[in-house]
């Protein structure tokens, strides 16, 4: 699923998290070395590194939160994992920030509580990183894994009265095997062009909520990118598991070189 907070397809969140991780490692290290060696400049450096860890973590969280809202499929296992990822990392930053309370206000000398909280924050941040890695490497959040001839990732918002047809593009906009994600009256619907004409179906895989718009469409079958469930693009029937429930499909009409989606009830 292509990241929303990206530059030329490069997701910003993974780029920025290098900073809080680096500062998060360096802060307790400098504090410990400073105290053990009785070097005030080293522990003062640790204090500034702790501030840098918290600030850069919050900055890195901004594109992460944008992807959380707009890229991670709703009602999916990845959404739950992403919620944990966010909560765990915010906890890590809070622990590091709390360590400041145990510093001497004049010399910035860290107390035992400072070093313990910074180390705990680093440990919690590692768990957050593990969850983030699962989001990328298993759920493919931010990974643009489009196959040859799949075309560019396309999204469009359409609206209309329930039961009415709404124009969703020219008949030749998509090639056979290509898909477009529609946000229609609050629903995520995939418009797909098969060898047998246009089809439309829910963007949500019935197994664990994978985005089918990010999957593969071939020979009238759409395959989920997460665990490989396959569905008939026209009927929604399951062709291969692990999914057992069909996906919902929608009526599509092709007239006068235009494609119309019949919007479902809200």
- Report the residue number, 27 or 224, with the smaller CB distance to ligand FES: 224
Residues 6+ apart with CB under 8 A from 108: 40, 43, 44, 47
Q: How far is the CB of 125 from ligand FES (least distance, A)?
A: 28
Q: How far is the CB of 13 from ligand FES (least distance, A)?
A: 22
- Report the residue number, 197 or 228, with the smaller CB distance to ligand FES: 228
Q: How far is the CB of 173 from ligand FES (least distance, A)?
A: 26
> Nearest-5° angle of CA 187, CA 65, CA 142?
75
The b-or-e profile of 124-160 (16+ CB within 10 A means b, else e) is bbeebbebbebbeeebbbbbbeeeeebeeeeeeebee
Q: How far is the CB of 47 from ligand FES (least distance, A)?
A: 45
The DSSP call for residue 211 is B
- Report the residue number, 23 or 231, with the smaller CB distance to ligand FES: 231
Q: How far is the CB of 68 from ligand FES (least distance, A)?
A: 18
- Report the residue number, 178 or 211, with the smaller CB distance to ligand FES: 211
CA–CA separation, 102 and 175 (whole Å): 63
Q: How far is the CB of 138 from ligand FES (least distance, A)?
A: 10
Please give the residue ranges that form the binding site for ligand FES (CB under 6 A).
205, 207-210, 224, 226-229, 242-243
- Report the residue number, 110 or 209, with the smaller CB distance to ligand FES: 209
- Report the residue number, 129 or 242, with the smaller CB distance to ligand FES: 242
CA distances from 230 to 26, 198, 222 (A): 47, 18, 6
The DSSP call for residue 173 is S
CA–CA separation, 37 and 40 (whole Å): 9
Is residue 223 within 8 Å of 213, Cβ to Cβ? no
């Amino acid at each position: 699923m292509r990241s929303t907070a990206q530059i030329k397809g490069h997701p910003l969140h993974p780029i920025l998290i290098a900073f809080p991780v680096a500062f998060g490692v360096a802060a307790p290290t400098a504090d410990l070395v400073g105290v053990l060696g009785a070097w005030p400049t080293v522990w003062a450096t640790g204090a500034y590194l702790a501030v840098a860890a918290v600030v850069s973590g919050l900055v890195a969280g901004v594109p992460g939160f944008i992807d959380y809202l707009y890229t991670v499929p709703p009602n999916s296992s990845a959404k739950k994992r992403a919620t944990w990822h966010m909560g765990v990392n915010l906890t890590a930053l809070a622990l590091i920030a709390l360590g400041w309370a145990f510093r001497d206000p004049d010399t910035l000398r860290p107390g035992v509580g400072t070093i313990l909280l910074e180390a705990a924050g680093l440990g919690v941040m590692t768990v957050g990183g593990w969850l983030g890695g699962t989001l990328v490497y298993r759920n493919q959040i931010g990974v643009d894994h489009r196959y040859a001839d799949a075309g560019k990732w396309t999204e469009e918002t359409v609206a209309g009265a329930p039961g009415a047809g709404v124009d969703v593009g020219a008949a030749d906009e998509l090639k056979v095997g290509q898909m477009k994600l529609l946000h229609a009256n609050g629903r995520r619907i995939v418009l797909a062009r098969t060898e047998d004409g246009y089809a439309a179906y829910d963007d949500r895989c019935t197994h664990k909520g994978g985005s089918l718009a990010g999957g593969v469409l071939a020979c009238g079958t759409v395959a989920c990118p997460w665990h490989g469930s396959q569905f008939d693009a026209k009927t929604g029937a399951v062709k291969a598991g692990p999914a057992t429930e069909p996906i919902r499909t929608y009526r599509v009409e092709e007239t006068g070189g235009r494609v119309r989606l019949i919007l479902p009830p809200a």
